[in-house]
Amino acid sequence: MSDLVIILAMNGLVWGLIIALIALGLSIIFGLLDIINVAHGDFFMVGTVFAWTVILITGNFWLAFLIVPLIGMLLGSLVERAVIRPVENSAALSIVATFGLSLILQEAVRATFGATPKRILDPIGVTVPILGLDYQVYRLFAAAIAIAAIVAFFLFLHRTKFGTWMRATRQDRDTAIAMGVPSNRIFVVTFGLGTALAMLGGVVAAPITTVEFRLGLDVLPLCFMAVIIGGLGNLPGTATAAVLLAFVEGIITSFAEPTTARIFSLIFMSGVLLLRPQGIFARSTR
Amino acid sequence: MTAAGVAPAGPTPGAFFAAGAAGWGFGGLAAALALLPLVVPDYQQVFVAEILVWGLFAMSFAIVFGFGGMLSFSQAVFFGMGCYGFNLGTLYFGFNTWGAVVSAVLAAALLALPVGYIATRVRHHHFLIVTVIISVLVTTVLESGHWRWIAGPYVTVSLTFVPEVPLGFTRFSFIDEWVAYYFTVVMVAAAFFLAWRIVHSPFGRAMLAIKDNEMRAQMIGLNVNKLRWMLFVLAAGIAGHAGALYALLARYTNLEFFHWIYSGKAIVMAMIGGVGSLVGPFVGTAFYMLSTEYLSRYFQQFIIVFGFILLLVVRYAPDGIWGMVLRGARGLGRHGQASKP
């Protein structure tokens, strides 16, 4: 029994790190462009589909880690210019536009990739014994990749000129523009980066989930929960909340049904929303 | 801002309809809908009835978003609750059709009370996220085998008998398409006029004021959260009503109707028609259903077309088809007045 708890908690941790990666993209887009990207889950789904396609074409899964985020960067930049920029003055309309985008992505994948779910084989195919149970090495690798990407993202945000510009724009858009920050370029890069994070999350998750066009619909609410509990626009809070949520859900799943775990976290989220709408990690009053 | 009672801000049809055109328009439409069964075959009557039902669903979104400024993804939950309440009323309590429709509206509105209480306390992006999350919560509870005592056999069900409408001393059976058609028309019209009266009442004006500038509305003494909550429950009741009418018309309901992505259908149809008025969603729905009929003959993934249409509408015509029609009519009217002297 206790072995099961540890395995499920580890699974939760791995999945939580992947969700953290995706939710960071959602959160950074929110922080800078002030919109909720309803198509974010679908970008994740497109990432898994591209991972599948890369295997189909090259036969090498590892290439996907390189190619797919680049495609995501391009796709996101394009979407920002073509879809978001023209309606940037109305947040509500931009969100409706991202919903249109979500329909397009889902149906495009259904038309080309097909409606039947597919599976990607474990690319490492090695298990290690943990407490007498075989554990997939790939899951540990996925966790490592997710951690590396999150660390790289924060380094980019805090150690590079572009990252500083992004943080400045998030803090005060008008002042940043007055100081000469190229805000238009920042918005394009932000959306591209957010999309790249979601699609990287898709590649990392592809071998441990099924690949299908509806995948984004389940992932988006998870990101929303992480974003609410961590605080909308609070990046470290979002990442922490995603990991904690999945970890706790994993532990609850070991003695109750997965549904009960999910309902527990949804109710917890409602409580956070009513009592601390700025998220549980917000320290100072802003 | 103009004085209260004069044409409200936003793309509302105030000036156009003030001229009495509304009366003529609705009279003509009522006559057309009443005479329709004389000219079109049975199955097309059912198709028109479906347009009206989905139009009512889209209208519930237009009420929340167009009049309250709340981008809700939970309309599908209330549509689903309407189906659920209808099935519960019919199969568990043994109500007749009238009672079942009432229980459907009540089921949706009762769920909307706590949901709306939580959702309307937050704004903008948080509101959207809350409506999605609550939809997920409801769907999760209903689809899990663990909570069968709530879901019961009333979520996914096909009616095994033909519904009947008792009226006075007689009963009309839905086995005749024209009964289904007239029943739907009357019920949709009733809901439409109730909603029309409400959004054109002082309450509706107050909602427009809140949507326009919430802080100002609060300053003049409006209880903003309470009014938003009331509007949310009203729209939920209407979505539930649409759910009941669908359950009657199709004699079939599904868990899929509760899913938050299903709200997207209402959003697409309402946005295409225009969310600034109550008529717009019906126009958008008619457009959606007719083009779906046509497009689905050629390829299966026709929804992708609506994705692009949605992008174009948002970009070039945020007040939708009906908004463009009204603007055109108003422009013509002004042109006529200007050239008269």
pLDDT confidence bin for B234, thresholds 50/70/90: very high
* pLDDT given for residue B126 in this prediction: 83
Residue A243 burial class via C-beta count within 10 angstroms: exposed 0-12, middle 13-18, buried 19 and up: buried
Residue A84: both structure tokens together: 């978001």
Q: Per DSSP, what are the bridge partners of residue B157?
A: B253
pLDDT at site B188: 92
Q: Show the CA angle centred on residue B49, arms to residues B47 and B55, nearest 5°.
A: 105
Q: Tell me, what's the pLDDT at B43?
A: 78
- Chain A's closest residue to B134, CA to CA, is A266
How many H-runs (helices) and E-runs (strands) does chain A carry? 11, 4
Q: Return the domain boundaries, chain A.
A: 2-115+129-275
Three-class HEC string of B116-160: HHHHCCCCHHHHHHHHHHHHHHHHHHHHCHHHHHHHHHHCCEECC
Radius of gyration of chain B (CA): 20
Looking at residues B108-128, what average pLDDT do you find?
A: 87
Burial of residue A15 (number of CB atoms within 10 Å: 0-12, 13-18, 19+): buried
Preferred mutation among B127, B146, B268, B314 to probe A, highest tally of A CBs within 10 A:
B314
Question: Of B122, B260, B315, which has the smallest distance from its Cβ to A277's Cβ?
Answer: B122
What pTM, to 2 d.p., does this model score?
Answer: 0.86
A181-214 residue pLDDT tens: 888 888 898 899 999 999 999 999 888 888 888 8
User: What's phi and psi for B285, nearest 5 deg?
Assistant: -65, -45
Q: Mean of the pLDDT values across residues B173-201?
A: 86
DSSP tag of A213: T
- The answer to whether residue B289 neighbours chain A at the CB level (below 8 Å) is no
A30 touches chain B (CB under 8 A): yes
Give whole-number Cα distances, A36 to A117, B59, B126, in Å: 27, 23, 9
CB-count burial class (<10 Å; 0-12, 13-18, 19+) for B238: buried
Q: pLDDT digits over B8-40, tens only? A: 444 444 444 455 677 787 888 888 887 777 777
State mean pLDDT over A112-124.
82
> What's the confidence (pLDDT) of residue B334?
64
DSSP A281: T
In the predicted structure, residue A45 carries a pLDDT above the cut 90: yes
Residue B1 pLDDT level (bands cut at 50, 70, 90): very low
| Among candidates A35, A103, A220 on the partner chain, residue whose Cβ is nearest the Cβ of B264 | A103
Measured between CB atoms, which of B130, B141, B307 is closest to A100? B307
Q: Backbone phi, then psi, for A134, in 5-degree steps?
A: -80, 130
DSSP three-state, residue A130: strand
Provide the token pair at B141: 């509870």
| Contact between B306 and A103 using a beta-carbon 8 Å cutoff | yes
Q: Which residues in chain B are closer than 8 Å to A274, comparing Cβ atoms?
A: 118, 121
The mean per-residue pLDDT over the stretch B112-140 comes to 86
Contact (CB, 8 A) for B65 and B270: yes
Phi, psi (5° rounding) for residue B259?
Answer: -70, 140
Element of type H or E holding B250: helix B224-250
Read off the pLDDT of each residue in A139-151 and give the average, rounded to a whole number.
Answer: 89
pLDDT in tens, B201-232: 888 888 888 888 888 888 888 888 888 899 99
Confidence of residue B58 (pLDDT cuts 50, 70, 90): very high
Report how many helices (DSSP H) and strands (DSSP E) chain B contains, helices first.
Answer: 15, 4
- Indicate yes or no: CB of A107 within 8 angstroms of CB of B122: no
Q: Worst-scoring range by mean pLDDT, A264-278, B126-140, B143-157, B321-335?
A: B143-157
Confidence at residue B143, expressed as pLDDT on a 0 to 100 scale: 80
CATH of A2-115+129-275, one of 1.10.10, 1.10.3470, 2.40.50, 1.20.272: 1.10.3470
* In the predicted structure, residue B55 carries a pLDDT above the cut 90: yes
Mean pLDDT in residue range B186-198: 90
Distance between CA atoms of A256 and A247, rounded to whole angstroms? 14
Q: Take residue A61 and report the two structure tokens written for it.
A: 């899964």
- Rounded mean pLDDT of B186-207? 89
Half-sphere exposure (CA, 13 Å, Cβ side) for B327? 12
The C-alpha atoms of residue A31 and residue A143 are separated, in whole angstroms, by: 25
Q: Is A217 within 8 Å of chain B by CB?
A: yes
3-state secondary structure B148-199: HHHHHHHCCEECCCCCEEEECCEEEECCCHHHHHHHHHHHHHHHHHHHHHHH
B301 touches chain A (CB under 8 A): yes
**Which A positions 141-180 lie with beta carbon below 8 A of chain B?**
none
Token duo for residue A256: 């109750």
B150 shares contact with chain A (CB less than 8 Å): no
Distance separating alpha carbons of residues B255 and B196, to the nearest angstrom: 30
Angstrom distance (rounded) from CA A62 to CA A123: 8
Question: Per the CB < 8 Å rule, is B310 touching A257?
Answer: no
Instruction: Quote the pLDDT of residue B20.
Output: 67
Check CB contact under 8 Å for B65 and A92: yes
Task: Give the mean pLDDT of B106-115.
Answer: 91
Pick the most confident of A62-76, B148-162, B293-307: A62-76
H or E, element range at A210 = strand A210-211
Q: Is A61 on the interface with B (CB under 8 A)?
A: no
- Max distance between CA atoms of chain B, in angstroms, equals 75
Beta carbons of B301 and A111 less than 8 Å apart = yes
Cβ proximity of A116 and A212 under 8 Å? yes
Report the mean per-residue pLDDT for chain B: 82
pLDDT of residue B336: 54
- For residue A32, the one-letter residue type is L
Whether A263 and B121 lie within 8 Å, measured CB to CB = no
Q: Give B320's contacts in chain A (Cβ within 8 Å).
A: none
Residues of chain A with pLDDT > 90, as a percent, come to 16
B169 has pLDDT over 90: no
Q: Is pLDDT above 50 for B314? A: yes
Q: How far apart are CA B189 and CA B170, in angstroms?
A: 23
Q: How far is A281 from chain B, CA to nearest CA, in Å?
A: 17
Quote the minimal CA–CA distance from A86 to chain B in Å.
7
Residue of B137, B259, B318 lying closest to A93 (CB–CB): B318
Partners of A35 on chain B (C-beta within 8 Å) are 125
Q: Please state, in angstroms and rounded to a whole number, the distance separating the CA atoms of residues A274 and A267.
A: 11
- Residue B76 is encoded by which pair of tokens? 């599908």
How many other CB atoms are found less than 10 A from the CB of residue A93?
A: 18
The domain segmentation of chain B, as residue ranges, is: 40-259
- For residues B62-78, average pLDDT: 90
Contacts across the A-B interface (CB distance below 8 Å): 118
Query: Quick one: residue B122, left, alpha or beta (phi over 0 = left, psi -120 to 50 = alpha)?
Result: beta
Cβ pair B144:A259 closer than 8 A: yes
The radius of gyration of chain A from alpha carbons, rounded to an integer in Å, stands at 19
State residue A60's pLDDT score: 82
